Structure 1
Amino acid sequence: MRFSSALLAIFVVVMVPLAGFAHDIPDKRIKDLVAQTLREHPALVLEAFQTLEQRQSEPEAAAAAVALSIERAALERDPNAPVLGNPDRDVTVVEFLDYNCPSCKRVMPELDALLSEDRKVRLVMREWPILGEGSVFAARAALASRNEGKYADLHNALMGMRGRVEANTDLRVAAEIGLDVEKLKADMRSPEVDEHIATSMRLAEALGFSGTPSFVVGDQLVPGFVEKAQLVTTVAAARKVK
């Protein structure tokens, strides 16, 4: 018989008490025992699952902690990463984002509220375009707009768009906020843009992130959408460690 990790957890719960003569139990009887255990001892089975998940996540958490220590400078002080908020900060929040990510758009007001209320937070943007060609184009355009001093303007405009961001809509929005579109398209091909996106990919993989938005706040990794209240708590915890 072959068991997945989840079934193995149940199998252990059922079979350990019968270890002395388990080899004599037919396969059908084992299946019946597993089904009976699921019915009669759901809490015990849940505990087995939780223990298994914890053991599986421990090596991943350890690897992420090591990566965070090694990559601290690249995350917080990369001169090739856009920065919003107060540059003279005491806490840095790093956001990995994609302009076609609905949760990234939902989290934007939460981040704006945090920056408005806490003037000592510095927000580093890591453009991580993982949701298709439109996302790659938008990330390149946002990064290129730094050459005209319009990163925050284009970032906010793209995050405020409804529907998917594609090349044509991206360029239309860029023109609306006063960017030189021909210059923007040329700047999108710059080595600095290539390097930023490549570094974002490397950092996200090293930290074990699987989607956007994802955040780094001090020693804490926060994947997924977060409300302002959680951000405030996370920033406060990071501030205490300093």
Structure 2
Amino acid sequence: MSPLRLLLPALFALAIVAAPSAASAQSFSDGQRGEIETIIKSYLVSHPEVLEEAMAELNKRQAAAEDEKHQASVAQNSNAIFNSPRNVTLGNKNGDVTFVEFFDYNCGYCKRAMSDMLDLMKSDPKLKVVLKEFPVLSEGSVEAARVAVAVRMQDPGGSKYLDFHQKLLGGRGPADKARALAAAKDAGLDVARIEKDMTSPEVRATIEENFKLAEAMGMNGTPSYVIGKQVVVGAIGLDGLKEKIGLARCGKATC
């Protein structure tokens, strides 16, 4: 909706004052409508700041509506988001705030966001971190995600998964099956078992679950996050993430 659409009721009221012979909007003649349009145009030219005010109000309302939609979606899917047995869970597993990241191994922003996640884990001992594979960029991303799920199946505690995750996401070049298996080998995992597990129903179910959750919350890119009740789409940097964690923890950017 354009900002002008928000202004029309007030501006038509103003125009009606200037054209008292018109009893209602339905009774306006073509000539009267032309006069009203002239009044509106003249008003906007004389007061262009009104458009800025209308746009600011529109953005505010849209953001509030989006926040409400996100919170409802998080509430409806909370168990799968925060406590799914298919999650990779790191940090403080009993933490007071859960930080969920949806990522793609071929996402350049995810590579940079990984250091933010690691910094948060080091600096915030009360933070629970959940990683969810969300391979949206390429077939190589899907292959890498399938290896990652097989790694999680082999390493439910997450220590080797984190090593694998850093090696693959932090490596150079596009991620695919070959690079993912090489990273798993470097992390000390059983590659033969991974190749076997990659064909299991659990791998498909995990990726499908993550895609369904992302769709339900309107996530259309990576990285995307759920932090408390908040949904965040896109890389917002370490300070932005800390602010979201603070809001989830105590209702303020800094607790």
What is the TM-score with the length of structure 1 in the denominator?
0.83
Cα distance in 1 between the residues matched to 2:44 and 2:174:
44
Stretch deviating more after TM superposition (200-209 or 39-48): 39-48
The Cα shift of 1:38 comes to 6.3
Of 164, 175, 178, the match for 1:165 = 175
Partners of 1:9 and 1:52 within 8 A in 2: no
Work out the CA distance in 1 between the residues paired with 2:197 and 2:43.
Answer: 63
Q: CA deviation at 1:151?
A: 1.6
1:133 paired residue number: 139
Alignment size in residue pairs: 236
Per-residue deviation, 1:37:
6.2
Tell me what 1:70 maps to.
Answer: 76
Specify which of 31, 35, 39 is matched with residue 24 of structure 1.
Answer: 31
Instruction: Specify the SS of the correspondent of 2:85.
Output: coil
> Which protein has the larger Cα radius of gyration, Structure 1 or Structure 2?
2
Name the residue aligned to 1:215: 225
CA contact (8 A) 1:143 1:151 kept: no
For 2:169, the aligned partner's letter is M
1:51 equivalenced with 2:47 (yes/no)? no
- Among 133, 140, 146, the alignment partner of 2:152 is 146
Q: What code does the residue aligned with 1:168 have?
A: A
Name which of structure 1's ranges 214-223 and 105-114 shifts more when overlaid on structure 2.
214-223
Once the two structures are superposed, what CA deviation does each residue of 1:184-204 show, in whole Å capped at 9, x if it has no partner? 222112222222211211211
Q: Secondary structure at the match of 1:239?
A: helix
Cα contact 2:3–2:54 (8 A) shared by 1:
no
Query: Which moves more between the two structures, 54-63 or 165-174?
Result: 54-63
> Structure 1 residues 41 and 182 mapped into 2: Cα distance closer, same or farther (>3 Å)?
farther
CA change 1:26–1:108 in 2 (3 A) is: same
Q: Out of 79, 93, 101, which is 2:99 matched to?
A: 93
- The one-letter code sitting in structure 2 at the alignment partner of 1:18 is A
Deviates further, 148-157 or 116-125? 148-157
Residue type at the aligned position of 1:24: G
Contact 1:99 1:165 in 2 (8 A): yes
Q: For residues 42 and 80 of structure 1, do their structure 2 counterparts lie closer, same or farther at Cα, with a shift above 3 Å needed?
A: same
Higher mean C-alpha displacement, 54-63 vs 212-221: 54-63
* 5+ residue gaps, structure 1: none
The alpha carbon displacement at 1:123 in A equals 0.3
Cα deviation digits, residues 162-218 of structure 1 (max 9, x gap): 332123332333333333333222211222222221121121122222211111111
1:6 corresponds to which residue?
2
The DSSP-based 3-state class of the residue aligned with 1:146 is: helix
CA RMSD in angstroms, aligned pairs only: 2.9
Q: Is the 8 A contact 2:15 2:39 kept in 1?
A: no
Structure 2: how far apart are the matches of 1:52 and 1:16?
A: 20
Distance in 2, Cα, partners of 1:187 & 1:224: 31
Alpha-carbon distance, 1:233 to partner: 2.8
Deviation at 1:227, TM superposition (A): 2.5
SS at match of 2:250: helix
What corresponds to 1:230 in structure 2?
240
Which whole-Å deviations, capped at 9, do the CAs of 1:5-34 have from their partners, x for residues lacking one?
22743873765533557742688x959965
Match in the other structure for 2:25 = none
